[in-house]
Amino acid sequence: MKIGISGTGCYIPGQITENNHFSENEFLNSDGSPLKHTNEVIIQKFKSITGIGKRRYVENNLNTSDIAYLAAEKAIEDSGINKEEIDYIIFAHNFGDVSYGKTQGDTLPSLATRVKHHLKIKNPNCVAYDMLFGCPGWIEGVIQANAFIKSGIAKKCLVMGAETLSRVIDIHDRDSMIYSDGAGATIIEANEEGGQILAHASETHANGEAYYLFFGNSYNNDIEEDRRYIKMYGRKIYEFALTVVPLAMKNCLLKSGIDIKSVKKIFIHQANEKMDEAIVKRFYELFDMPMPAGIMPMNIYEMGNSSVATIPTLYDMVRNGKIDKQSIEKGDVVIFASVGAGMNVNAIVYQV
């Protein structure tokens, strides 16, 4: 029995925010002191490192669960399944529904339950739950869906990754320019002729690495509001990712039994263009090979980093011919890989 992706869908917010949007921000160091460079220089350096020129923010009336529902509708339609036959709804996110202008994340009820409600699924045996696993959450959801189906307790699962990071950024932190909003959804099911999960691997590194990404105060010490924002130690994450992720990808590929020369694409979490390129380059160095041209589809320039949504969104776009000079065909072997808060790392070797 093969277990694979039978349908995909994504929601790309309509609000495009370009880098010049941040030209008037008061960027500060973590101690509250002003940065030594002008915003023009800060933004130029940011673009050269991350590759991000634009990012997408959701409309004010939408929340994370809303855009996940919109992506899920497309994935269900694409797969051709009856929504009442879905056994599990697995929703990867990090902050819940943070309504526009509000300071708290709302996870009561769970976002997966909200999506089930929006989809009007009547079947009570369709179990809905949330996945908190940092940016690798969608991949981990697929791994769990694969296990459910392989064990016989499920036949069809809806796995989503969605986030509205624009609601949890500190405008005084230059890292705020990285984050964006979006949603991606996939139907995972047993099949005879479709795709197949060949191998997977997951790791959690929490011996000193646990708080590389965290919720912290604004860099503006004059703000009296008791509010927290997404924060990270960028240099530590970069060094960690380059050390750990390529090896995890290698171990996953070896577990699959697939020759590296058969890998057609690598769908890596769209975190930072230079970091992603360095990870994939180092992965190929582990096999004494140069990184092949065109192996790594990217949409971070247009989309920014939407955390758990980046890989399912990227895969849907490539699958549907929406990224220039990137495509996949039936039978192609691809790798999904991610790194994020936890610090968590995971990978899947998948045959389309």
**List of domains in the chain:** 2-192 (3.40.47.10), 198-351 (3.40.47.10)
Predicted local distance difference test score (pLDDT) of residue 101: 87
Residue 91's SS3 state is strand
**Cα 182 → chain centroid:** 9
* Distance between CA atoms of residues 29 and 90, nearest Å: 38
Predicted local distance difference test score (pLDDT) of residue 164: 97
* Distance between CA atoms of residues 262 and 331, nearest Å: 10
Tell me whether strands 263-268 and 333-340 are parallel, antiparallel or unpaired: parallel
The separation between the first and the last C-alpha atoms of the chain, rounded to the nearest angstrom, is 15
Answer yes or no: are the C-beta atoms of 220 and 35 closer than 8 Å: no
175 closest CA partner among 13, 14, 30: 30
Predicted local distance difference test score (pLDDT) of residue 224: 81
* Distance between CA atoms of residues 107 and 130, nearest Å: 9
Q: What are phi and psi of 333, to 5 degrees?
A: -100, 130
* Distance between CA atoms of residues 185 and 316, nearest Å: 9
Predicted local distance difference test score (pLDDT) of residue 194: 84
What average pLDDT values come out for the chain (352 residues) when binned by 10 residues? 96 96 94 93 95 96 98 98 98 96 90 98 98 97 98 97 96 96 98 92 96 94 88 95 97 97 98 96 97 96 97 97 94 97 97 96
